Amino acid sequence: MGLTLVFVTACGPHAHIPLRPTNLPGTLGPSDNGALLARRLAPVLYLQTDETFPLARVVAVLHPTRRVIAYHLLWRDDVHGSWIPLTIPTDEEVLWVGYDSTYAPIDVWTYWHGSILHTPWPRSQVAIDIQWGKHGSMPRNVRQSDLPRPRTLNFFYAMTMFGEPDILLGDMTRKGPLCFCHGYTRYREFTRPVLLSSKIDVVARTDDPRPILLEVFGSKYSNKHQWP
């Protein structure tokens, strides 16, 4: 059993995020109106204070015919399952901002563990809460009871305890947390602001961003929903 464990953890996938591309075909220059809009409407992310995995890449994509901007986020890793052979060794998440004719944000969608959450937005700075370790994205201060069951914060907090062996196995293949070593109140505190506008690597205008994401995120990423 010991030899099997060593073999399995040694074969765990490792992230190979490419260098930031320069002059990538099909992307917008920094002075393009679309690029300026994408940076102006970029949300502020609020991380849980104990988050250890960094935000490695960000691609902003303007839809060519809809007033929607997608923000594809590539986190260095996921707290669960990183030791499993053939798993994707990074964590891609997506959120979307819809805007009106005055270029004010009026809708927000976020990807939440297989579901897309939606909320109208009051024409102000968009803010997103980021779940510890797994990076599910929620509109700021969302009511916990509105999250789809069973994928609630209560459930994922319980998984930090029942899934502790999984977390420890992951730490044998890459540097990560050894546990979530605090209570549920702290698990729900999102207090570390990150200005997404300063993290954007590439801005593009297309309805199919996958070729660009392959260049910026690498060949192995989650390829989640393109549009809400």
Q: Is pTM beyond 0.85 here?
A: yes
* pLDDT (0 to 100) of residue 8: 46
Strand 202-205 and strand 105-112: the pairing is unpaired
* pLDDT above 50: residue 97: yes
- Strand intervals (E) in the chain: 44-48, 55-62, 68-75, 91-99, 105-112, 115-120, 127-130, 137-139, 190-195, 202-205
Tens of pLDDT along 166-220?
Answer: 999 998 888 899 999 999 999 999 999 999 999 999 999 999 999 999 999 998 8
* pLDDT (0 to 100) of residue 11: 53
**Domain residue ranges in the chain:** 2-14+35-217
Q: What is the DSSP letter of 114?
A: T
* pLDDT (0 to 100) of residue 9: 45
58 is written with which tokens?
């960000």
- The answer to whether 112 and 29 are in contact (CB under 8 A) is no
Spatial distance between the Cα atoms of 79 and 52, rounded to a whole number of angstroms: 9
Confidence of residue 50 (pLDDT cuts 50, 70, 90): very high
- The answer to whether 226 and 72 are in contact (CB under 8 A) is no
How confident is the prediction for the chain on average, in pLDDT? 92
Confidence of residue 36 (pLDDT cuts 50, 70, 90): very high
* pLDDT (0 to 100) of residue 25: 87
Q: How much is the average pLDDT of 49-73?
A: 97
* pLDDT (0 to 100) of residue 12: 62
Tens of pLDDT along 8-30?
Answer: 444 567 778 998 887 898 899 99
Which neighbouring-strand residues pair with 99? 105
Confidence of residue 31 (pLDDT cuts 50, 70, 90): very high
